[in-house]
Amino acid sequence: MHLPGLWEFPGGKCAPGEAPRAALERELREELGVEVLEATRILSIPHDYPGRRVELAVFRVDRWQGQPRPQEAQPLRWVEPGELAGLPFPAASRAIVDAARLPAFYLISPEPASAAEVVYEVRRVAQRLARGDIRLLQIRAPGLEQTAFLDYAHQLMVAAASNRAEVLVNAPDAWREQLPPAGCHLPERRLRALASRPPCAGWLAASVHDPEGLARALALPVDFVVAGPVERTRTHPDAQPIGVAGLAALCARSSCPVFALGGLNPADLDRVRAVGAQGIAGIRGLLD
C-alpha cells in the first residue's frame, strides 16, 4: 500500500486510454455512489515520490446527484475547510488542501491618496469585510511612505481580525518585520529577485502575468498566484489584458490556485471559475 494512514480526496487512477474527466465520473460513482453533473479542472499537479511519479488532475465538482456514501467500506469524513490543514495528507495533495481552504474573493486594499486619507480607506475596507463574503485581504499601498504605510497596515489588520479575514502584506521586508505576523504577497519584480521561498507567517502569494512568471512562482513554491490583468483596469491602464483565454492557459499550467485580477467583479466569478480559476482578486471591483 502506498502512503498508508493518510487522508485523501475522492479519486483514483485513469484506466488506459481514459480521459481524466471520465475517470472522475467513474471513480466518484464507484467510491461515493454519486453522479457528477458539473465539474471543472482546476489544478494539474506533478509530484515525485520515492520510486514513483504522479500527475494529479484536480477537479472542483460543483453539482452532483446522489448522497455521498462510502461504497468500498472506506472511512469517510466531512470537515470544514479550516480543519483540512491539520489533517495528514500526501505531499502531492497540499495544493488541493489550499484550494479547498482559500475563498473565492481576494480583496486588495485601495491606496490612500495621502496619509490623511488612511482613516477613510480603512473605514471603506472594514465596511466591506463586515459583509462577510471576503475572508482574504492583501494590504498594499506603494505610494505611501513607510510611517504612513505601517499605520495603514496596522489599522487594516485590526479590521481584518475583527471580521475573521486573513491578511497578506505586499511591502518591503523591512516594513513587514515591523508588523504582526501575516502572509506575504510578492509583486512580480520581487518574485524575479528570489531564488527560494522566503520566510512567511501565513499564505505566500505572487502576482504573475505570463507563463514565465507562473513557472517562477511555482518553483519557489508559492501557495497561490494572482494572474492578469484579465480585462483593462484603471489601476494599470497601459497593461495589455490577457483575456479569459490567457487566464485559462495559465490555469491549465498551474499546480497552485489562481485568482483572476483586472476589471472583474463578483458577477464575473462563474466566468473565471469555468476556466479553472480559484476566484477573483481586485480593488474597486470587490470594494465597491
Radius of gyration of the CA atoms of the chain, in A: 20
pLDDT of residue 233: 82
d(CA 262, CA 250): 15
pLDDT of residue 142: 95
> Which helix H or strand E contains 140, and what residues bound it?
strand 136-140
d(CA 213, CA 246): 13
d(CA 145, CA 158): 20
Residues comprising the chain, all counted: 288
pLDDT of residue 48: 86
Q: Judging by beta carbons within 10 Å of its beta carbon (0-12, 13-18, 19+), is residue 237 exposed, middle or buried?
A: exposed
pLDDT of residue 1: 47
pLDDT of residue 175: 97
**Which of the residues in the chain have pLDDT under 70?**
1-3
Sorted by where each starts, the structural domains of the chain and their CATH numbers stand as: 20-89 (3.90.79.10), 102-287 (3.20.20.70)
Indicate the pTM of the whole model: 0.93
Q: Residue by residue, what is the 3-state secondary structure of 221-257?
A: CCCEEEECCCCCCCCCCCCCCCHHHHHHHHHHHCCCC
